[in-house]
Amino acid sequence: MAAASSTPEEGVAGDKKPFDSAHYKWAEEMKRRGEELKALGVDTTPKAIDAGSAGGDDAGDALAKSKSKGSAWNTGGTWEDRDTTEWLKEALTTRLLAAGADVAVGARAARLAFTAVDKCEGSSSVVYVRGKAKPGFEIKLKASFSLTATDDATVVLGKGTVSADEMCDYDGYDFDLSVRASAEAGSGATSSDCKRAAGKSKELVTESLRAAVDEMASM
Domain CATH for 94: 3.15.10
Give the separation between CA 139 and CA 89, rounded to whole angstroms.
9
Sign of the CA dihedral running 204, 112, 182, 120: positive
What's the confidence (pLDDT) of residue 129? 85
The residue with greater pLDDT, 129 or 181, is 181
How many structural domains does the chain have?
1
Quote the percentage of the chain above a pLDDT of 70: 64
- With 80 as the cut, is the pLDDT of residue 167 above it? yes
Q: What is the pLDDT of residues 186-201, one digit of tens each?
A: 999 999 999 999 999 9
The chain-wide mean pLDDT, for the chain, equals 80
Q: Is the pLDDT of residue 50 over 90?
A: no
pLDDT value, residue 200? 98
CB burial readout 6-32, b (16+ within 10 A) else e = eeeeeeeeeeeeeeeeeeeeeeeeeee
Domain of residue 98 covers 82-217
The answer to whether residue 52 is domain-embedded is: no
DSSP codes joined into one string, 53-117: TTT--HHHHHHHHHH--S-GGGGGS-EEEEE-HHHHHHHHHHHHHH-EEEEEETTEEEEEEEEEE
Q: Please indicate, yes or no, if residue 144 is contained in any of the structural domains.
A: yes
Residue 105 neighbours by CB distance under 10 Å: 27
Q: Is residue 69 part of a domain?
A: no
Instruction: Look at residue 168 and tell me if it is in a domain.
Output: yes
Instruction: Grade residue 137 by pLDDT with cuts at 50, 70 and 90.
Output: very high
Please indicate, yes or no, if residue 121 is contained in any of the structural domains: yes
Question: Is residue 46 domain-resident?
Answer: no
Beta bridge mates, 82: 126
Q: In the predicted model, what is the mean pLDDT of residues 161-178?
A: 95
- Residue 205 maps to a domain: yes
Q: Is residue 77 part of a domain?
A: no
